[in-house]
Structure 1
Amino acid sequence: MVSAVDRMTGSLRERMPPLTALPLPRTLDSRLLRKQWPATELAAPPPGSGLEPVLGDAGPPIIGHTLKQMRFGVEYGLRRYERYGPVWWSGAFGRRIVTLTGPEATQVALVNRDKAFSQEGWRFFIDRFFHRGLMLLDVGEHHTHRRIMQEAFTRDRLVGYVASMGPTLREGVRGWGGGAGTRLYWALKQLTLDVATRVFMDMRSGSDARQINRAFVDCVRAATAVIRYPVPGGRWRAGVKGRALLERYFAANLPAKRAGDGRDLFSALCHATTDDGERFTDADVINHMIFLMMAAHDTTTITSTAAAYYLAKHPEWQERVREESLALGDELPDIEALDRLESLELVIKESLRLVAPVPSMTRMAVKDTAVLGRYIPAGTLIGVSPSMNHFDPDHWTNPHTFDPERFDADRREDKSHRYAWMPFGGGAHKCIGMHFGMFETKALLHEMLRTYRWSVPRDYRVRWDYVSLPVPVDGLPMRLDRV
């Protein structure tokens, strides 16, 4: 007898585009991506439960699918989705990990009505480097810390942050020069790091800032290290040293921030107080600053890189959003001006769909549970995959096509399901800085649009590396011509 879950899985397979419709890498890579391993059950469901087992496979011995997942990212996930449906398991990072794909499965984990999923999953990957960051906290503690932190992201605070980032963005973009060969991703990464140190810490560029920036990069890369031990020359060890440096820096500067009245985020966290008088301890401020610096600059870098790429591939859209930016005049834009860049916001939202800056979110099953009729035992590491949701043909028209107008008021395909579009996460842990991120990305691309026209060769196609977060393998070489 065919179960309801199997019927649903079969329906999903029918709705997924065939392999030939998905973008494929080069021939050798294609063979590696297509290689399949025998399907097995994650765990036998309790007798009489009526549940089905989660199906999947461990992949190659020891490393499992770790390297394949890093190499192929979305392409890998879409093929697993096609084979196994919305709930499947794989071997990676020495663990069996269940991945939830599609809006319905995602909703179960992020709404978390029966409290079966905890943030413990994140701790497996990043706690050593981003200890007690907001995203790693659970339930009541998370709610308390979020209430306090919200005081650092009020509208008034955002106005100050936008005013602070404007000069850094304009100066940085103008300094790129022009011509062919600019590795845009690395130029944007340095610029967003400069903005983060300026806006978050009121720290000017220089050797100290470069050292701090390097420490953040090392911490991010260490989170997905295959060798999770501080061997000399390894990414894990670099991350451990980076975390120690950041702790020393914030601890040394915290007393002055407590005593002052600065407008930077570091100062805001030091002084944030709820109506009930709740405040962060010194240790809280240090932990949250390290986490927020990472979250802010990496996501903005990825989003602005993706948007710039799609604008290069679609020059008609580049001209449309440039006209909108030039209409603002030469003054540095404030929040109200950035809000008027409506076409640019459509492009950014579509870029967030096509290249989710955080392609996977992690949870831990803290008790036996089920998702869409599939049995998941306690202690299972869970991956929630926004990238897969962003390509679900049930919710998106021609999902592999760049089409910013799908977010226009007349269409709003992102409203087809609460979790169809979720670049900022969802549920209680939805990104607290999403409005800040949108303003920064708009401000950065606005400066690019008024300074350059940019292009890539007609046959160029970016390839993303998923070793940590999505990064263009070649740095995205771009031709910049001054407007």
Structure 2
Amino acid sequence: MPTISATDYWLDQAKRRLKPTPVTIPGMGAVEKRLKNTEWDQFVFAEPPAGSGLKAIKGDAGLPVIGHMIETFRGGPDFILEQYRKHGPIYYSQSPALSAVMALGPDATQAVFTNRNKDFSQRAWDPIIGPFFDGGLMLLDFDEHLFHRRIMQEAFTRSRLSGYVPHVDSVATRVLANDWVPNDPRFLFYPAIKELTLDIASEVFMGHPAGTDRELVTTINQAFTTTTRAGNAIVRKPVPPLTWWRGIKARETLEHYFSSRIGEKRRSESTDMFSVLCHSADEDGGSFTDDQIVSHMIFLMMAAHDTSTSTMTTMAYHLAANPQWQDRLREESERIGDGPLDIEALDKLETYDLVVNESLRMMTPLPFNFRQTVRDTELLGYYIPADTAVVTWPSINHRLPELWTDPEKFDPERFAEPRNEHKRHRYAFAPFGGGAHKCIGMVFGQLEIKTVMHRLLRRYRLELPKAGYTPRYDYGGMPVPLDGMPIVLRPLR
């Protein structure tokens, strides 16, 4: 009897219930191509109550065992957009990772994010990243979330943000001058910018001056990287030495680090975010416990560096591929020169805002969001039972031709007057989420990106490694370029 792989076995078993339909999934490998021209048998997820007038949600399970994981990991938003066109805004996807109702398109995104009746909870994140980011702001609900957000807002006021900018600028200036390699076609932008954003987070969030206690900073940064990627684990149990177990151990490392320094931070105020959270209070005098500060710091560090890393990687690629936009940004940077940056100077980089937004639109750092129903409810006229996971994909809204002119084209002018394409629907553009859980750190992220890219473009011209180069991505979590995104840095002087 011939030996076949497990994937081939399940593909063969699945053939019994396949029916042809045209499907195109970009970036598919040899095995994945065998999923083309298939349509899975549909089933009704849950019958609505008699007389309710609500519609039943249909769904499918994809391949046995692996479901639609191959298409999702390879195609990401492209595959989800195909499903939106095929099934409409509401359908059920059965999956070994997380079975969920898919809430797609701008109207579904708005209904879930607005959450007027508080039907949708953040608890759906628990099986994804709960063990690693428990207690983080994104994982809190309703009144508890509001209490924590009010206190944390103190760390993101304009006066606080003004204090962070010089730290971001000093780290970026030092690293770009000393650590990045010019004229090397093998220079990988993604890991380099990830290390830079971790260095920035170490100084701005934790109060470690750049270049000090390097061994400790490296250990902490590695722990953050491990916890962030642990959410993509296939085996979601603490089995050593697998990914999930490593993520839990990394969380313990981070807990010990922050816990051991809270006393010192409470005794003396400084401008780093760790210190700010130790001293912040709401208008009623409410403040964070030590455990709450630890949880918030772990989550904020992850959120701050990963989203900025993704956005600047996308931005670098499109600036290299569209040198006319690189020239426009450099001309704008010329007007504020090489002096120390402050928040007022960054406000003047208005063309940068257009390019940042277009980069966020084309490759959204957090392409999806999870929710869970707290009671039986309806969504766009469909019935959803209590305790059902619901997944929104704001990133596909960013690719809809009914909202965006030529959405596959890099065109930052779409965000400027008079076009304002992002205003065609309230959730046409939602890279930072929406509603009560809209990203609290989005302004900080934009200031960080503008600071780093200003310094980068004052020093280097960005070029593609070869004509026609286009990156491929792993969509297992936040989108990550599979090849590390090679970009050539040509010194300007």
Q: Residue 178 in 1 paired to residue 187 in 2?
A: no
Looking at structure 2, the residues matched to 431 and 199 of structure 1 have their Cα atoms a distance apart, in angstroms, of 18
- Contact 1:33–1:72, Cα closer than 8 Å, also in 2: no
Q: 1:413-447: per-residue Cα shift (whole Å, max 9, x none)?
A: 11111111001100000000000000001111111
SS in structure 2 of the partner of residue 88 of structure 1: strand
- Contact 2:32–2:70, Cα closer than 8 Å, also in 1: no
TM-score of the aligned structures, taking structure 1 as reference length: 0.93
Indicate the residue corresponding to 2:6 in structure 1: none
Indicate the residue corresponding to 1:190 in structure 2: 195
Q: CA deviation at 1:30?
A: 4.3
SS in structure 1 of the partner of residue 238 of structure 2: coil
- Contact 2:26–2:75, Cα closer than 8 Å, also in 1: no
Q: 1:243-273: per-residue Cα shift (whole Å, max 9, x none)?
A: 0000000000111001111100000000011
Q: Residue 107 in 1 paired to residue 110 in 2?
A: yes
Of 450, 454, 457, which residue of structure 1 is paired with 2:458?
450
Q: CA deviation at 1:66?
A: 2.5
TM-score of the aligned structures, taking structure 2 as reference length: 0.91
Q: CA deviation at 1:83?
A: 1.0
Q: CA deviation at 1:27?
A: 6.6
SS in structure 2 of the partner of residue 467 of structure 1: coil
Looking at structure 2, the residues matched to 95 and 243 of structure 1 have their Cα atoms a distance apart, in angstroms, of 23
Of 71, 76, 89, which residue of structure 2 is paired with 1:73?
76
Output the amino acid matched with 1:467: G
Q: 1:370-401: per-residue Cα shift (whole Å, max 9, x none)?
A: 11112111111111111111112221111111
Indicate the residue corresponding to 2:158 in structure 1: 155
- Contact 1:62–1:94, Cα closer than 8 Å, also in 2: no
Of 216, 220, 224, which residue of structure 2 is paired with 1:208?
216
Output the amino acid matched with 2:380: L
Q: Which moved more, 1:165-174 or 1:184-193?
A: 165-174
Indicate the residue corresponding to 1:126 in structure 2: 129
Looking at structure 2, the residues matched to 29 and 66 of structure 1 have their Cα atoms a distance apart, in angstroms, of 10
Stretches of structure 1 that go unaligned for 5 or more consecutive residues are 1-17
Looking at structure 2, the residues matched to 94 and 320 of structure 1 have their Cα atoms a distance apart, in angstroms, of 44
SS in structure 1 of the partner of residue 102 of structure 2: strand
Q: Which moved more, 1:362-371 or 1:298-307?
A: 362-371
- Contact 2:32–2:71, Cα closer than 8 Å, also in 1: no
- Contact 1:63–1:91, Cα closer than 8 Å, also in 2: no
Q: 1:13-59: per-residue Cα shift (whole Å, max 9, x none)?
A: xxxxx967x85556764443654322222112222222222122111
Q: How does 1:319-398 map to 2 (within 5 A)?
A: 319-398=327-406
Looking at structure 2, the residues matched to 144 and 432 of structure 1 have their Cα atoms a distance apart, in angstroms, of 14
- Contact 2:57–2:91, Cα closer than 8 Å, also in 1: yes
- Contact 1:128–1:240, Cα closer than 8 Å, also in 2: yes
Q: CA deviation at 1:192?
A: 0.2
Indicate the residue corresponding to 1:479 in structure 2: 488
SS in structure 1 of the partner of residue 186 of structure 2: strand
CA gap 1:284/1:404 in 2 versus in 1, 3 angstroms:
same
Q: CA deviation at 1:319?
A: 0.9
Count residues with an aligned counterpart.
465
Output the amino acid matched with 1:127: G
Output the amino acid matched with 2:286: E
After superposition, the CA RMSD in angstroms is 1.6
SS in structure 2 of the partner of residue 401 of structure 1: coil
CA gap 1:157/1:222 in 2 versus in 1, 3 angstroms:
same
Indicate the residue corresponding to 1:3 in structure 2: none
Q: How does 1:435-446 map to 2 (within 5 A)?
A: 435-446=443-454
Q: Residue 265 in 1 paired to residue 273 in 2?
A: yes
Q: 1:213-246: per-residue Cα shift (whole Å, max 9, x none)?
A: 1111111111121110122231101100100000
Q: CA deviation at 1:455?
A: 1.2
- Contact 2:23–2:38, Cα closer than 8 Å, also in 1: no
Indicate the residue corresponding to 1:416 in structure 2: 424
Looking at structure 1, the residues matched to 420 and 30 of structure 2 have their Cα atoms a distance apart, in angstroms, of 37
Looking at structure 1, the residues matched to 128 and 400 of structure 2 have their Cα atoms a distance apart, in angstroms, of 27
SS in structure 2 of the partner of residue 128 of structure 1: helix
SS in structure 2 of the partner of residue 187 of structure 1: helix
SS in structure 1 of the partner of residue 117 of structure 2: coil
CA gap 1:47/1:113 in 2 versus in 1, 3 angstroms:
same
Indicate the residue corresponding to 1:465 in structure 2: 474
SS in structure 2 of the partner of residue 379 of structure 1: coil
Looking at structure 2, the residues matched to 399 and 93 of structure 1 have their Cα atoms a distance apart, in angstroms, of 32
- Contact 2:28–2:74, Cα closer than 8 Å, also in 1: no
